[in-house]
Amino acid sequence: MSIEALGRLWATYESVVQFVGLNAILGLSIYITLAAGQLSLGQAALMGIGAYTGALLTVTWGWPLPLSVLAGILTAGLAAGALGVVVLRLRGVFLAIATLGFGAMFGILVLNIPLTGGAEGLRPIPSETTTWQIYLVLALLAYGFWRFDGSTFGRSLFALRDDEAAASTLGIDPFRTNLIAFVASGMVAGLAGGLSAHLTRIITPRDFGFESALEILVFAIVGGTTGFAGPILGAALMTVLPEVLRFLPLEPGAVNLFVSGAILLLVILFLPGGLISLRRQGRAGSDPRASLGRRAGPDRAATLHEDPPTPLPTPLPTQPMTSPTTGRTPPPSPAGQPSLGPDPRRRSIPANAMPLLEVRGLARHFGGVRAVDGVDLDVRPGEIVGLIGPNGAGKTTVVNVLSGLVPPSGGSVRFGGIDVTGWPAHRMARLGLIRTYQNIRLFAHLSVLDNVLVGMTSRLPPTLGWSLLGRAGPHEAAARRRALELLADVGLEGVAGRPAAALAYGDRRRLEIARALAAEPRLLILDEPAAGMAGPEAGRVGTLLRTLADRGIAVLLIEHNVRLVMQTCDRVTVVNFGARIAEGVPADIARDPSVIEAYLGPTSVDR
């Protein structure tokens, strides 16, 4: 093919190449919100805000392209922020509907105010955007997103998508994080809008309507939302395809609609991860981290079953191990003493030590059911308190209320001397109240290592800035080291690169504990950590808890395995039908007839 022919080809298809780039930028804009699990259908309107702002500034005041595009970015970001404040309290389909409503409002607005030229739109806009500018911007964005996927912020978003409750009980503020994502997403959409206005030279309200919003969504869904490459890929495919289909002798509108509908349906039904999940599947076998995990995993697991866990390493120097409330330094951890064993006699916690957690008259009602109805509970630093009671006694509801997932109906909670009654989960977590879940709630799509790193989020400064510079940064590097140490403590460092969902049951429990420790708890609440474990394995959980308590961490243990509770705990609180029925040291509890009756029922049975 001659140079001349190539030139002709380029002249014909340059606009297709330009639109691939623009649409890829749009795909990236919705990717940010989808990464956090929010379906926003307002992207087209945000793009429109960027486009109209840029176009008006250029046409009316003759601003140069970079400045007017920048203004478009900022305006769209502001609009997205305002939208986010209103709609981010909503969930799922409500959020999608609200953003759709926002898009419709924008359409009506630009159609009816004189400034924007109504249905005729704005024209002519001086044409300035060039192909290489679009691709330069796209390359910069792609680089940014590549770093974003591995930053604290990126991880927080992915964690929110996988399990918002679990993320919030590790200190991630869902509203704030989502709002930042919304603003960032709006800014990228505004950028695309500014560029497109200067490319097409005409903008009309129709360009930013419902159909455009859907198109943008299709880019991201078809390409996949588990990595930044997905939306770029999807945009490329969905932009090029109609050009190819133009050669078919069919009604063009119908064909495009049919093809995009059919691809979308096939992807959602048969390839939920989008196009990039194909590549991921193909590559899994050769991923060095994955194979490392497989090789090292079983060995380590085997050793864990023989030895008790090694004592935890001293934590990062940034974490003071002195309890902030009491100033009491915990006894030095017994260095070089590998087996702590079940402590024969418990250290006495000074009875006058100020409780870290003070619960008074806690109540939570659901309709006519009083799940929790007046529970008192104290936990002091360095103390292990057991919370036991038969099924349905209200134990898990107590934990849900304490961790801020469920607001109490009555009573008070003080933590470290502060009244925290009714505080949301992420604030409780940031104060140092960290919990695990009875049914194990990991971030299934994140790697084992990333799960632990998410646990550290609230203790780390943002690392996105460093990431953008292409480096791990001092905090991120230290965090990774610490995360690997924590994984080593629970015997999972060999599988650090595997997705959490691929772990076996016991390993998932261990990972959840490592993740909780990564959040640097002052009070650790464990909801049935030994469920599904056999005797000796459960005993190792007890040993681990003792190690933690010796470091000054307060532990609240909810457990059905009464033997484990009796052996491990300093004090035990028993609840039944929502209320506390006994409280004391294990020996007394074991002899309390009301406890025995609660568990096993009255001894006399009418037959």
Question: Which residues between 59 and 98 bind another protein (CB under 8 A)?
Answer: 86-87, 89-90, 92-94, 96-98
602 binds another protein (CB under 8 A): yes
Q: Count Cβ neighbours within 10 Å for each residue of 191-227 and write b for 16 or more, e otherwise.
A: bbbbbbbbbbbebbbebbbeebbbbbbbbbbbbbbbb
393 binds another protein (CB under 8 A): yes
Which CB sits closer to another protein, 98 or 517?
A: 98
Which CB sits closer to another protein, 11 or 269?
A: 269
Give the residue, chosen from 112, 318, 319, 329, that forms a contact with another protein under the rule CB under 8 A. Answer: 112
- Vertex 467, ends 464 and 469: CA angle to 5°? 120
Candidate ranges 69-77, 248-256, 353-361, 425-433; the one touching another protein (CB under 8 A): 248-256
241 binds another protein (CB under 8 A): no
- The token pair at 71 is 């203004």
Which CB sits closer to another protein, 476 or 527?
A: 527
The least CB distance from residue 235 to another protein, in Å, is: 16
Give the residue, chosen from 265, 278, 284, 302, that forms a contact with another protein under the rule CB under 8 A. Answer: 265
Listed residue (499, 503, 31) closest to 281, CA to CA: 499
597 binds another protein (CB under 8 A): yes
- CA atoms in the 13 A half-sphere facing the CB of 375: 34
Helix (H, G, I), strand (E, B) or coil at 378: strand
Which CB sits closer to another protein, 348 or 391?
A: 391
354 binds another protein (CB under 8 A): no
Q: Count Cβ neighbours within 10 Å for each residue of 86-108 and write b for 16 or more, e otherwise.
A: ebbeeeeeebbebbbebbbebbe
Between CA 392 and CA 228 the distance in angstroms is: 45
Tell me, residue by residue from 470 to 509, as one string, x for binding to another protein by CB under 8 A and - for no binding. ----------------------------------xx----
Candidate ranges 286-294, 312-320, 363-371, 540-548; the one touching another protein (CB under 8 A): 363-371
The least CB distance from residue 578 to another protein, in Å, is: 8
CA distances from 364 to 372, 394, 475 (A): 5, 9, 40
Between CA 319 and CA 459 the distance in angstroms is: 9
Taking every pair of Cα atoms in the chain, the longest distance, rounded to a whole number of angstroms, is 101
- The token pair at 368 is 């006519």
257 binds another protein (CB under 8 A): yes
By CB under 8 A, the residues from 528 to 557 that bind another protein are: 528, 531-532, 534-535, 538
159 binds another protein (CB under 8 A): no
Give the residue, chosen from 264, 271, 316, 460, that forms a contact with another protein under the rule CB under 8 A. Answer: 264
Give the residue, chosen from 16, 105, 248, 278, that forms a contact with another protein under the rule CB under 8 A. Answer: 105
With CB under 8 A as the rule, give the number of residues binding another protein.
Answer: 81
Question: What φ, ψ does residue 365 adopt, rounded to 5°?
Answer: -110, 140
Which CB sits closer to another protein, 385 or 440?
A: 440
The least CB distance from residue 158 to another protein, in Å, is: 14
251 binds another protein (CB under 8 A): yes
Between CA 545 and CA 379 the distance in angstroms is: 14
206 binds another protein (CB under 8 A): no
Q: Are 75 and 57 in contact (CB under 8 A)?
A: no
By CB under 8 A, the residues from 411 to 440 that bind another protein are: none
123 binds another protein (CB under 8 A): no
370 binds another protein (CB under 8 A): yes
Place of tokens 């961490």: 553
Helix (H, G, I), strand (E, B) or coil at 377: strand
Give the residue, chosen from 46, 100, 377, 431, that forms a contact with another protein under the rule CB under 8 A. Answer: 100
Candidate ranges 213-221, 286-294, 308-316, 331-339; the one touching another protein (CB under 8 A): 213-221
Which CB sits closer to another protein, 414 or 560?
A: 560
Rounded to 10 degrees, what is the CA torsion of 551, 554, 558, 563? 50
Place of tokens 């709630």: 441
Question: What φ, ψ does residue 582 adopt, rounded to 5°?
Answer: -160, 155
606 binds another protein (CB under 8 A): yes
Which CB sits closer to another protein, 58 or 225?
A: 225
Tell me, residue by residue from 564 to 593, as one string, x for binding to another protein by CB under 8 A and - for no binding. x-xx---------xx--------x--xx-x
Exposed/middle/buried for residue 506 (C-beta within 10 Å: 0-12, 13-18, 19+): middle
Q: Are 225 and 215 in contact (CB under 8 A)?
A: no
